[in-house]
Structure 1
């Protein structure tokens, strides 16, 4: 566990030492100020939109983290900890921590804004129950997004331009999956390969209250999907070596 924590800390240090985190941060800041400039807004609607934003931001982060991995440094770290399993778990942990940080920002910002605006930011009073559900949804999307973004690792797909194009395509298809299946029914037999992010809008698109059971099921599905993708990527990387 200590080895995983140290590798995760080192991975986060490398990520924040560079400049690739700046643009995602700018996107988040611009979104937050744009979203909550006009008052009041719906609680459920605003957090559903935040879930989609975080999904795309973590896909972006997953691509960046994978692209920045240096084969020499990877081998050195594996030799140092003498465990490829610890190394690959730490890579997933880096994205998980990034996802939790982004989720916390996207959930806490409107909470703080609501307090500063004398609790007039939302159409109804914001409760701790709302905040809990919102964080769980957003965090689930962050895990799935990070895993999807890191799937086409340089050792999984050497052509980086193609990897970026395919990742973007999969991300967009994820969001519009429900609509596509309705228009082209046979796609439902292939749509299962995409993360269930669209279920959030399907369940919460026309309601004003969160339901913890539905939120929990979506979270489990998103985290499970992210875990499967992480295992697949790690197995391919381990098999292909360097």
Structure 2
């Protein structure tokens, strides 16, 4: 088994992992960055919209372009090594085991310090039949469309009107899908007005104080039942 000694191991090549790798590299540390994906950037490579903020935080730059900027900066440092399609499979007292899927080999890393920057998991709504094929999290839809060029369906119901829900709805329409409605349990939209206005101009209804009750279908999603909720977010019978 191959051994690799480094000063700093970064697990996860999203915006946090890339930024940490660059900061450590600028200070002369020997850095190894590993990410299980096919390319570095994490969530950034899925984002085709322009970011808000100011010039120092890449305002008006699209997410996938920010990823390219950070990766290009990474390549300037000879003391930084980045590996994609590489998963950390164990962290032990005497080292870290990683699996390089491209070479199909397991190797051992001996870092002085390790940073875990693997991101977060999506939060799903619980409802009847929520395990039917055709029910996706927003991240999965963005990955299929924006990273692999696959449209995951033709007709969509979006649950949640935060920025991600609004952005994914707009991206689906851009890709040729039909968004039937956006359902929001609160009494107001959670995302930015600029994203909401894009959706409204396209004629997509936004149903406030509503939630999904169950998905319909046997082998895949064929429809959904939604209902209105009261002030305590309880479903109002008959709605």
Instruction: Judge same fold: TM > 0.5, yes or no.
Output: no
Which TM-score applies when normalising by structure 1? 0.25
Which TM-score applies when normalising by structure 2? 0.25
Higher relative contact order (CA 8 A, sep 6+): 1
Pick the structure with more helix per residue: 1
**Structure of greater Rg:** 2
